[in-house]
Structure 1
Amino acid sequence: MKEKIIYIVLIILLSLTACNKLSGPGQEKQFEGKSYVRLFFNSEEECLDAQPPDFFINCHQQVDFLKNNDAEIMVSDIIWRGTYEVINKKIILSMEPNFEIPSGEVIFEVKNNTLLIKTDDKTEWRKMKGNSIWN
Structure 2
Amino acid sequence: MKRKITIALALLFLTTACSRVAPPAKDNMLKNKSFVYLFFSTEKECLENQPDDDFFLNCHQQVDFYDNNVVEIMLTDIIWRGKYEMEGNTVILTFEPSYEIPDGEILFEILNPAKILKTDNGTVWKKISGNSIWK
Give, in whole Å, the separation in 1 of the partners of 2:25 and 2:129. 23
Could you list the structure 1 runs, at least 4 aligned residues long, displaced by more than 6 angstroms after superposition: none
Match of 2:41 in 1: 42
Check if 1:67 corresponds to 2:70.
no
Deviations 1:50-71, CA, capped at 9 Å, x for gaps: 0002210000000000111000
Cα distance per residue 1:27-50 (max 9 Å; x no partner) = 322211100000000000000000
Query: Is 1:104 aligned with 2:130?
Result: no
Q: Is the 8 A contact 1:90 1:108 kept in 2?
A: yes
**Residue number in structure 2 paired with 1:134:** 134
What TM-score results when the alignment is normalised by the length of structure 2? 0.81
Matching of residues 62-101 of structure 1 within 5 Å: 62-101=62-101
Instruction: Give distance in 1, aligned partners of 2:27 and 2:104.
Output: 19
Q: Residue in 2 aligned with 1:12? A: none
Work out the CA distance in 1 between the residues paired with 2:133 and 2:24.
30
The residue matched to 2:36 in structure 1 has which SS? strand
Alignment of 1:2-13 (within 5 A): none
Measured on the aligned residues, the alpha-carbon RMSD in Å equals 1.4
Match of 2:30 in 1: 31
What's the % identity of the aligned pairs?
A: 53
Q: Distance in 2 between matches of 1:26 and 1:112?
A: 13
In 2, Cα distance between equivalents of 1:24 and 1:80: 26
**Contact 1:28 1:86 (8 Å CA) reproduced:** yes
Query: Given that residues 28 and 69 in structure 1 are in contact (C-alpha distance below 8 angstroms), is that contact kept between their aligned partners in structure 2?
Result: no
Distance in 1 between residues matched to 2:56 and 2:24, nearest whole Å = 42
What is the deviation of 1:26? 5.7
Segments of 5+ residues of structure 1 without an aligned counterpart are 1-18
Scaled by the length of structure 1, the TM-score of the pair is 0.81
